[in-house]
Amino acid sequence: MCIIIILLLGCREHGSRVVVTGQEDFREGDLVVRCGFGMESKIVTKMSGSKYSHIGILHYDEEGGEWTVVHAVPGEARKGEKELVKVEPMTVYFAGDRAECGAWMRIACEDSIAARAAEYALAKAKEMVEFDDDYMLSDTSRMYCTELVWQAYLHQGVDISQGSRHEALKPVCKDGECIYPKDIEISELTLFVKPFKTLTK
């Protein structure tokens, strides 16, 4: 029987909810994408031509008995706290005030490679790596969302973007170009992109 979790957190604010299906088929190191409601999300989707503006990597929390998402995102830290790479339950990642749509993606590689990619991302969360608000691939001391998952796989010998880059707004992105979720969506190494259903009131 297919596991279905309807994520209702914050739905009343935006009147929608993401329905996450197929969790029994998720793999350690799979990727999940979403689009938020903020201006930054709109800019990313507009510039990249994608429905999705944010990406994270899946890790199964044995102790909690649930899938979690390791990701780096701005604007969600409490006042006075730094924006860090973090690990959150799926319900929080796809909460109604954060996601208007979402999808599940898988990279073409052995399970062990995907699992090691997830371990890399988890290590960055434990190291309290800060969010890279300069969006610089040339600086790996801080990371933005797509950079995190790209580096996670690159350290296992897999370039999931296959060199694809998008022009980005300066001075927001100091390198002038960055990797968007779209660059991974269109990669030949991406086996599938399976959208989750979004229900609206």
CATH of domain 4-200: 3.90.1720.10
Whether residue 98 is predicted with pLDDT greater than 70 in this model: the reply is yes
How many residues are there in the chain? 201
Residues 42-97 have pLDDT tens digits of 888 888 889 999 999 999 999 999 999 999 998 888 888 899 999 999 999 999 99
Report pLDDT digits (tens) over 132-157.
Answer: 999 999 899 999 999 999 999 999 99
Q: Which residue has the higher pLDDT, 39 or 118?
A: 118
Inform me whether the pLDDT recorded for 165 exceeds 60.
yes
Q: What is the DSSP string of 132-173?
A: -TT--TT-TTSB-HHHHHHHHHHTTT--TTTT--EE--TTTS
> How many other CB atoms are there within 10 angstroms of residue 152's CB atom?
26
Q: Cα(195)–Cα(24) distance, rounded to whole angstroms? A: 16
Helix (H, G, I), strand (E, B) or coil at 201: coil
What's the confidence (pLDDT) of residue 28?
98
What is the average pLDDT score of the chain? 88
Segment 173-185, tens digit of pLDDT: 777 889 999 999 9
Burial of 82 from C-beta contacts in 10 A (0-12 / 13-18 / 19+): exposed
- Helices (H) and strands (E) counted in the chain, each on its own, are 6, 11
